[in-house]
Amino acid sequence: ACNADLADIIYAVDFAARKHKNQRRKDPEKTPYINHPIGVAHILIQEGGIEDGEVIQAAILHDTVEDTDTTFEELEEHFGKSVANIVREVTDNKLLSKEERKELQVKNASHKSLQAKLVKLADKIYNLRDLNRVLPEGWDENRRREYFNWAEKVCCQIYDANDHLAKCLQTLFSEFSGK
Ligand code: NDP
Ligand code: ZN
């Protein structure tokens, strides 16, 4: 990435950190939420070999609309139309129930753009690794299994987006089913 890309990426980190400042992950240590979007961007760069600055910005911003007061208009103003549109593609409709949202992810995954598929794959890798590390408070083994099963239904449709991320997910799913 050139310096202009890097400046945009660091600005996204600053923006997302402010938006997620009061949020924590579900792990028992209550990790600051911002570690998740930063980690998703790192997976895309380090493991996916992704150099598209728009995808990296979208990864950093991917949960701001779903989980904070951020609007797509605001993202467009700060980061431009294409970044805002990638985030739009990976944002669930909060008017629907959790069950409906999960169903729609399975139904719609294959119709997303390549850029959105990349963010989705890296997001799932991060969350599955997090679940392998430690169960969130209130979760049991069965809930973790349901999450892995659902994530596989979403991801298996979009492996075409990136061979390295696909391999990583296939290993996570096969190691899990072997447990
Ligand atoms: P989810 O099952 O969707 O929670 C997982 C999501 O939480 C991840 O996708 C991730 O999303 C986020 N997250 C935050 N911290 C962590 C972490 N440490 N590890 C992994 N993921 C983390 O829970 P919801 O409450 O959103 O949804 C409820 C759904 O769960 C219902 O649809 C229902 O089917 C199911 N359920 C199952 C139960 C059971 O016992 N089997 C009980 C209750 C509900 P992000 O990337 O956005 O941060
Ligand atoms: Zn996420």
pLDDT in tens, 91-140: 999 999 999 999 999 999 999 999 999 999 999 999 999 999 999 999 99
Ligand 1 centroid – CA 63 distance (Å): 14
- Check: CB of residue 16 under 8 Å from CB of residue 61: yes
Please name which of 97, 90, 86 lies closest in space to residue 154, comparing C-alpha atoms: 90
For the question of residue 67 being annotated catalytic, the response is: yes
Helices 81-89, 53-61: axis angle to 10 degrees equals: 50
Q: What pLDDT is recorded for position 102? A: 98
pTM (whole model) above 0.95: yes
Place of tokens 């930063």: 38
Ligand 1 and 130: CB distance under 6 A: yes
